[in-house]
Structure 1
Amino acid sequence: MIDMFDPVEPRAVLDRISAAAQSGVPLTLVVAGQLHGDRKTRELFLALALSTPRTVRQTAVSWRGLVSAVEAAAGVTVLVDLVVDASAWRTLQQFPLSLGSNAFMRGRVTRAGRGRVAAPEFVSTCLALWQKTGFLEPAELHRLALVYARGEDALLVSTEPALADGAPPQGVGSSGDTPRPEEPGSRASGSLRAVLLAAREGRHEQASEAAAAMYAQVARDLGRLAPETLLWMEVCAEIAHMAMDPVRSCAGWLAVARARLERGEPCDAAEVEACADRAHHQWQRIGSTATLVRLAPQMIELRRLVPGQRSGSLADIQRRTERLSRLDVLSVRPSSNPESAILRLSF
């Protein structure tokens, strides 16, 4: 069931969710926003459009009320992407976030930062991947989306529904899962799980080789511009990021952006802009002046086509490239590293 509306009044929100939960069909709930904690009672509140830190009791949805609203559902899948204040953060350090015993919840909770505008990158990525690769289950979406939505001071949310005896159901987070018939895409899903696990454990070279092999196979079978092919290109680029290899990551995101444009995606499409932004971010992290200048023409070409939401992105690349291109080598210290040169600005 897809039900979208402008949340303003807490009671109306809870009534809408409760009605959906009582419809007799499984409920999918996407929760993104701000979570506040009451300092005295430690109760959690989900902010709505008119909520402020001082008025959450009157203008926000209590998390306890949200739990009650979904308890009648035949099954609940929940994706959460929440920014929490200091009080809620302390509460969640001791009491994991949950929406009841029949809720399958995945997501992240990020601590609020002063002067930082948070974006729901996790749920946005989940929804985009769900649209492109319908065979991915919520647990698989969670693993992949977190690659793109990491952040400092983040808690990962992962709760499973329980059976009457308290044991997790087979096939959902249990160590003794019953094998299921292979479905279309399940082989790719298994490979994706293994690749992401290797990357998160720091086995970047192994993850990179496996991702490159899957990319080559999918490109050969489905074509180089197929959605699944682009997915593996993105995985390769992000693994390079995780391995702190900005050169390879920048080149990877450049390739993904160009491929998306080539297959006819609009220049202002969210996924195209995200690829351009990631390429730009990785380009800025390159430590080698020569490499940074070498990749600059590709970045300039991309930013002319995809300026993104931040003004001045093209000017930033042009300005930095022009400044670095004016560097002259004055002398070189005795070293095997040619980049240990003493540099002088030429004007």
Structure 2
Amino acid sequence: MLITGENGKNPEPGTALLLAAAPAGKGRLIDAASVLPALAAVPADILAGTAGAASATVIELADPLDPQTVLTRIRAAAAAPGPLHLYLAGQLHVDRKQRLLHMALARTAPATLRYTGLPWHWLAGEIKARRPGSTTVVLDLVADAEAWRQVTGGHIGLGDGTRVYGRIAPASGRRRVAAPVHLKAVAGIWRSGARPALPELHGQAAAQAAAENGPDGALLFGVTTAGPAHTHAPHAQQAPHAQAHAQAPQTQAHIPGHTPAPLPVAVPVPGQVAVPAAADDAAPPRASGAEPAVPAEPAAVAPRAPGAEPPQAPAAGFAPGTQPPRSDPHPAILAAARAGRHAEAAAAAAARENEALRLHGPGSVQVLHWLEVRADLARLAQHPARSCELWMTAADVRLGRQQTADDPDVEAAVDRAHHQWEQIRDAARARRLAPALVALRRRVPGRQRGALRLLQRRLEQLHEERPGTLPAAPTR
């Protein structure tokens, strides 16, 4: 969700990113998303730390699924040259192989943490690259036993130039789902009309959290006001640069129209290799004289960087992109997907993407390739919303690499996103994705005449339907 407030006199805008995530089921340690309604009721300029600014941007991520998508949102927010406020509610774990700290997302499980959780060093890397003093992070996290050892051992560092407030608590051994009490207290104080300086604000919030939660040994950050919270937090520490809120640098930049990137529908183009589509992907016939529409999901198109040589024929259904020098993993991944082992296939592709990220960096052709592979795997698993989100992210990354709106790979990504969006039967989910897709389609109209008009008409129909239902898209 994107909120922009424009009711102040100060011309300098602010940016806030709210990330609340926790796994579903018995792996949940904290009801992270329960704090979002309270924070959403706080004025945008207060959340962004620029009270009275001309505009303030709030980016909300509620139980996101994909770490790469979350990284894209964090990177976009961190790219703003002015002050940035990050609010993090969730839980911390350590992966079994590399022993690295991760923040769990909605689909995280112990066995898949490396692929489905957000690596903490990704977050730290984006923050540390910012100008010192321009970033404030507010934590309300729960850590399992291994993560707690790392947190108390000093592995939570976000850079000396970052102000850190809030709390990290050890997980309860009673399998009790915790509440984000610190952030709820912060939201409550702000909603009351009070505007204390940040150290005082978080001191009050810590005291309220301690009164509500009882002694839980939480590690406190940035709390300078003495009070009950310290009685229950023997490990309390002072975060660097814990100056008052009014001292925050007031140069933050507005991110105009920042929305989740749309997802693509591929259209084979000259110079690219297409794999024959499966029989169940064939487009139904379109009546003569019917309105032009986005084509049904075509065969996968091999992604390639601008100016690169046309790719060789891909292996077994996936675009090759930049093939690794060792044995080609694509056939095994596709075989798992075709055999119905979709989680296994997705985890393998995510592992390759993470490896590419370590070797080649964010936004590289190698990372982009595996992102598009995962989008196609989501299509095969019949998860159109997920596929749509991933394809939109791929289109956004390509545009961020300075590929033009009429680049065949960009057009293919947007077309695939459009097609997958039309397959979504959950009306609420379709409505959430629609604004980003419309914005992307306006930027990348594609080669199919009337695609934007058809999307807008479909969106109007969606809003007219009874909540929770969505009829099938018109026959093409």
TM-score by length of 2: 0.34
Higher relative contact order (CA 8 A, sep 6+): 2
TM-score by length of 1: 0.45
